[in-house]
Amino acid sequence: MARKNNTIEEQGGLIQDIREVRRQLEGNYALFAMEADEDLLDAAIYQREALQARYRYLLRLAREQGAVGGISVEREARERWIN
């Protein structure tokens, strides 16, 4: 269970994690669009599923902690990054 009294530094780290996973998802979408090999497409799909699960987790954590510095958690949750 997350602590409610997080420091600004901890919230900043969480926001950085969210941005990093989003960057990785962007790369995954680009790779998926360019890949033709069936095995590599499967790998890209599994990677995307793992990244989306982490992204959902981080957004949930951000909501619980009230981390809002520079991101809109609700907007992020509506974006294409999450199925």
For 28, the domain range is: 22-78
Q: Indicate whether 58 belongs to any domain.
A: yes
Domain count, the chain: 1
Quick one: pLDDT at residue 17?
Answer: 95
Q: Indicate whether 74 belongs to any domain.
A: yes
Q: Indicate whether 49 belongs to any domain.
A: yes
Is 65 in contact with 9 (CB distance < 8 Å)? no
Quick one: pLDDT at residue 81?
Answer: 55
- Sorted by sequence, the CB contacts under 8 Å of residue 60 that are 6+ apart come out as none
Q: Indicate whether 51 belongs to any domain.
A: yes
The whole-number average pLDDT for the span 47-63 is 94
- Comparing CA positions, the residue from 28, 73, 18 lying closest to residue 49 is 28
Say whether pLDDT at 39 is over 70.
Answer: yes
